[in-house]
Structure 1
Amino acid sequence: MLNFSFANSTQIHFGEQQISTLSSNIPTDAKVLVVYGGGSIKKNGVYDQVCEALSAHSWGEFSGIEPNPSYQTCMQAVELVKRDNYDFILAVGGGSVIDGCKFIAAAACFEGEPWDILAKGAEVNSALPLGVVLTLPATGSESNSFSVVSNKETNDKLPFATPLVQPKFAVLDPNVMTTLPKRQLTNGVVDAFVHTMEQYLTYPVDAKVQDRFAEGLLLTLMEEGPKVLADDASYEVRANVMWSATMALNGLIGAGVPQDWGTHMIGHEVTAVYGLDHAQTLAIVLPRMMAEQKEAKREKILQYAQRVLKLDVSKPEIAIEQAIEKTELFFHSVQMPTRFRDYQLGEEVADAIVTQLERHGMTALGEHQAVTLEKSHRILLQSV
C-alpha cells in the first residue's frame, strides 16, 4: 500500500426529510446564496423544502448553472456574491451545480484573474463556506474538494482542487431521485462506476481494504444500477445508488492506491468539443482504455473478472476479453450507448481530441503515464 493522508470533513445528512437540517447546519447570521441549475428543483419539491428550512435565514438565489458549468455563468454568480455581500453558498443540484459553486466560492475571494485558478493552477488562499443539497447522485462532488469548470469561449474543460472548497455538509435524500429523468439516472450510475474503476483498475499494491471497498461499490452499482431506472424503483435501491456515488469519490477507496484518470481526461475533451454528457464519454472510452492497457492492467483486470464479474480466470486471455465485454454490456444494461457512432460522430473525433489533449499537456496519461498521444488516438479510433 502506498503512503497517504486521508481526511474527509464533510458532514453527511443521509435519508428522508434531511433537507430540514439546513436550518441548523447553516449559521443563522449567514447571508446565503442558493445556487441551482435549470429550475427542476421548483417542480420536484426540493426548492420548497429549502425555502422552508431557510425561513429564519437571510438568503437569495442564483439559477442557470449548466451541465458542465461554464466559467462565464459562474462569474455572473461571483459578481452577485460581491455586490450583495453573500457569505455562504448553498449548492442545490448535482455535480455540475456543486462544481460550479466550488469555483464561485473560491473566485469570490480570489485576488487576481479567477480564470488563472483553472488555467494556471493559481493558489486559492480562501473561499466562502459551501453546503450542498444533492439532487443527482453521480460525481461525488458533494464530499470532495475537486471541481471541473468549462470555458465556452475557448473549448476548455479544466479541473482545480483545494480543501478550502470541500463542502461543510451535504444533504442526501434518496427521495429526490424519484423525479429524475432516466438519462440523468443512467449518467449517475455510469459516472460512479467509472470513478471507482479509475481508482481500482490499475496495478496491485496489496491494498486489500481499498480493493474490497471498490469491489463492493462496483457490485452494488451493477446490481442496483439497472433497477434504479424502473419507475417503481424502491427507496432502498435509490439509497444504495446514491451512497455508492458518494463513496466512489470521497477519497476513501483512492487512499494509498495508484490512480488512473486517463479515461476522464480524454472524456473531458470530448465533452468540451462535442458537448456529450460527461458519463456518456466515459462509457465510450473506458472499454477501449481497458483493451489498450490490458497488459499494464492485467492483474487487476483478472481480479475484477474473478471477484466482481464471477468469471473463470483459468484462461487469463479469455477472461480479460470477457471482462471488457461484460463491462460494456453493463453500460448497455443501464441504457448507456458505448460508441461515438451512437452520437453521429466518426473517425474525425480522434484527431480533434488528440489536438485538445496536446494543447492541454495531456500527453502522458494513466497510472504509469504510459498512455501517449498515439495510444489516445488509437483508443478514440477504436471507440467509433
Structure 2
Amino acid sequence: MLNFDFYNPTQILFGKGRIADLNKVVPADARVLVLYGGGSIKSNGVFAEVMAALAGRTVKEFPGIEPNPSYETLMRAVEIVREEKLDFLLAVGGGSVIDGTKFVAAAANFEGEPWAILETRGRNIKQALPFGTILTLPATGSEMNNGSVITRKSLKAKMAFSSQLVFPKFSILDPAKTFTLPVRQIGNGVVDAYAHIMEQYLTYPVNAPVQDRFAEGLLLTLIEEGPKALANPEDYDVRANIMWCATLALNGLIGAGVPQDWATHMVGHELTALYGLDHAQTLAIVLPGMLRVRKESKRAKLLQYAERIWNITAGTEDARIDEAIKRTQDFFEQMGVKTRLSDYKLGSGNIDEVLQQLESHRMVALGEQRDVTLDVSRKVLELSV
C-alpha cells in the first residue's frame, strides 16, 4: 500500500425527510444563496421544503446552472454573492450544481481573475465561502469530496480543480428525492459512479486488499442495483444503495493508498467540451477502449476484475480480459448509455480535434504510469468509433 493522507470533513445526513434538518446545520443568521439547475426542484416540491427549512434567514436564489457548469454562468452567481453580501451557499441538485457551487465558493472572495483558480487547479485558493448540498442526482460523488470540474464555453475548455477549502460542510442525501429522475439520468448516474471506481481500482496491484474489496463491493452493488432502478424507479432501498454507492465511489476512501488513473476522464472531458455529450456518455465511450489498449499495463488487475466482478475463470488470460471488458461495455449499454462515438454522430473525423484539445490542455502523459500519450489516446478513440 502506498503512503497517503486522508481527510474528509463533510457531514452526511442520509434518509427520508432530512431536508428539514437544514435548520440545524445552516447558521441562523446566514445570508444564503440557493443554487440549482433547470428548475425541477420547484415542480417536485424540493424547493418548497428547502425554503421552509431556511425560514427566518435571508435567502436569494440562482437558477440555471448547466449540466456541465460553465464559468460564464457561475461568474454571474459570484457577482450576486458579492453584491448581496451573501455568506453561505446551498447547492440543490446533482454533481454539476455542486461543482458549480464549489467554484462560486472559491471565487467569491478571490483576489484577481477567478479563471486562475482553474488554471492552477485550485492551488491558489486561500479562502472559500461555507456551503452545503442537497443531492438530487447521485452520480459524481461531488457531495462528499473537494473536487470540481468547470467548462469555459468561450475556450471549449473543461478544467478541474480541488482544494481542502471546498469540501461541503454537510450534504443531505434523501433517496426519495431521486424518484422522479428521467431514465437517462438514472443510467448516467450508475455509469458515472462505476467509472469513478474503475479509475481508482483498475490500475496495478500495491497489496491493498482493503481498498480492492471495498471497490469491488461497490462495483457489484451497482451491477446488481442499476438495472433494478431502471425497472422500478420508486424502490427506495434500490435508490438508497445507488445513492450511497455514488458517494462512496469518490469520497477518497477507495483511492487512499492506491495508484489512480483518470485518463478516461481527461479524454472524456474533451468530448464534453467539444460536442456537449453527457459526462457519463463520454466515460462509457472511452473506458472500454482505454482498457483494451492498455491491457498489458493493467493485466494483473484486469484478471482480478474478471474473476471477482464477472466470475470469469476459464480460458486464457487474454480471453478472460477481453470478456471482462465486453461485459463492462454490455453493462453500460444495459443502463441505456451508448458506448461508441458513432452512437452520438461522431467518428474518425473528430479524433484529431480531440487530440488537439488534449495537447493544448497539456494532457499528453496521462494515467497511473503517465504512459497515455497522444498516440495512445488516438488508439483508444479509434477503437471507440
Determine if the TM-score, normalized by the shorter chain, exceeds 0.5.
yes
Question: 2:286 is aligned with what amino acid?
Answer: V
Q: Give 5+ residue unaligned stretches, structure 1.
A: none
- The DSSP-based 3-state class of the residue aligned with 1:381 is helix
What CA distance in whole angstroms lies between the structure 2 residues aligned with 1:231 and 1:194? Answer: 23
Moved more, 100-109 or 314-323: 314-323
For structure 1, which segment, 345-354 or 307-316, has the greater mean C-alpha deviation from structure 2 after superposition? 307-316
Superposed, which structure 2 residues align to 1:94-243 within 5 Å? Answer: 94-121=94-121, 123-243=124-244
Ranges of 4+ aligned residues in structure 1 off by more than 4 Å: none
1:229: how far off? 1.2
Partner SS for 1:153? helix
1:120, distance to aligned residue in structure 2 (A):
3.5
Distance 1:361 1:168 in 2: 33
Question: 1:348 Cα shift?
Answer: 1.5
Give the whole-Å Cα distance in 2 for the aligned partners of 1:64 and 1:313.
Answer: 51
1:6 aligns with 2:29: no
SS class of match (1:363): coil
Cα distance per residue 1:278-311 (max 9 Å; x no partner): 0000000000000001110000011011011111
Is the Cα–Cα contact under 8 Å of residues 306 and 313 in structure 1 kept in the other structure?
Answer: no
- The one-character-per-residue Cα deviations of 1:94-137 (angstroms, maximum 9, x if unpaired) are 00000000000000010000001102345000000010000000
Inter-partner Cα distance in structure 2 for 1:8 and 1:125: 18
Shift of 1:58: 1.6
Match of 1:350 in 2: 351
Pairs aligned (count): 384
Structure 2 CA distance, aligned partners of 1:377 and 1:103? 32
Equivalent residues of 1:226, 1:334 under 8 A apart: yes
Distance 1:26 1:104 in 2: 18
Letter in 1 for 2:20: S
Instruction: Name the SS of the counterpart of 1:96 in structure 2.
Output: helix
Matches of 2:350 and 2:163, distance apart in 1: 32
Q: 1:23 and 1:10 mapped to 2: Cα distance? A: 17
> Do the aligned residues in 2 keep the contact of 1:23 with 1:56 (CA within 8 Å)?
no
1:276-315 superposed matches below 5 A: 276-313=277-314, 315=316
How far the C-alpha of 1:234 sits from its partner, in A, is 1.1
Contact 1:95 1:139 in 2 (8 A): yes
What amino acid is the match of 2:33? L
Per the alignment, residue 28 of structure 1 pairs with: 28
Q: Secondary structure at the match of 1:134?
A: strand
Q: Residue 364 of structure 1: SS of its match in structure 2?
A: coil
* TM-score, length basis structure 1: 0.99
Local SS of the residue matching 1:150: strand
Q: Report the RMSD for the aligned CA atoms in angstroms.
A: 0.9
Alpha-carbon distance between aligned partners in 2 of 1:41 and 1:57, rounded to the nearest angstrom? 20
Q: CA deviation at 1:314?
A: 5.3
Question: Separation in 1 of the partners of 2:233 and 2:35?
Answer: 30
Query: What secondary structure does 2:362 align onto?
Result: coil
Output the amino acid matched with 1:32. V
Q: Secondary structure at the match of 1:351?
A: helix
- Partner Cα distance (1:132, 1:120) in 2: 25
Residues 1:60 and 2:89 are matched in the alignment: no
2:74 maps to 1:74: yes
Deviation at 1:230, TM superposition (A): 2.1
Q: Distance in 2 between matches of 1:27 and 1:233?
A: 33
Aligned to 1:339: 340
Identical residues among aligned pairs (%)? 60
Query: Equivalent residue for 2:85?
Result: 85
Between stretches 158-167 and 231-240, larger displacement belongs to 231-240
Amino acid at match of 1:73: T
Distance between the aligned counterparts of 2:214 and 2:102, measured in 1?
Answer: 27
Contact 2:203 2:260 (C-alpha < 8 Å) held by counterparts? yes
1:217-267 CA-to-partner distances (Å, cap 9, x unmatched) read 000001101111124541000000000000000000000000000000000
2:176 and 2:234 in contact (8 A); partners too = no
**For 1:304 and 1:176, how far apart are their aligned partners in 2?**
33
Classify the secondary structure of the residue corresponding to 1:179: coil
Aligned residue for 1:171, secondary structure, equals strand
- For residue 313 of structure 1, report the CA deviation from its aligned partner: 4.8
Over 3 Å counting, the alpha-carbon distance change for 1:315 and 1:233 in structure 2 is farther
Equivalent residue number for residue 364 of structure 2: 363
Structure 1 SS opposite 2:106: helix
The answer to whether the 8 Å contact 2:202/2:301 transfers is yes
- Distance in 2 (CA, whole Å) between partners of 1:237 and 1:177 is 11
What pairs with 1:234-253 in structure 2 (closer than 5 Å)?
234-253=235-254
| Matched position secondary structure for 2:203 | coil
Query: What's the secondary structure of 2:272's corresponding residue?
Result: helix
SS at match of 1:354: helix
Inter-partner Cα distance in structure 2 for 1:325 and 1:205 = 26
- Superposed CA offset, 1:2-58 (max 9, x none): 000101100000000011110110000110100001101011111111011111222
Give the partner amino acid of 2:51: C
Amino acid at match of 1:378: K
Gapped regions of structure 2 (runs ≥ 5): none
Counterpart of 1:43 in structure 2 is 43
In the alignment, the residues of structure 1 paired with residue 8 and residue 350 of structure 2 have an alpha-carbon distance, to the nearest angstrom, of: 38
Please report how far the alpha carbon of residue 315 of structure 1 lies from its aligned counterpart in structure 2 after TM superposition.
2.1
- SS in structure 2 of the partner of residue 204 of structure 1: coil
What is the CA–CA distance in structure 2 between the aligned matches of 1:177 and 1:44, rounded to whole Å?
10
Quote how far apart the aligned CAs of 1:312 are: 1.1
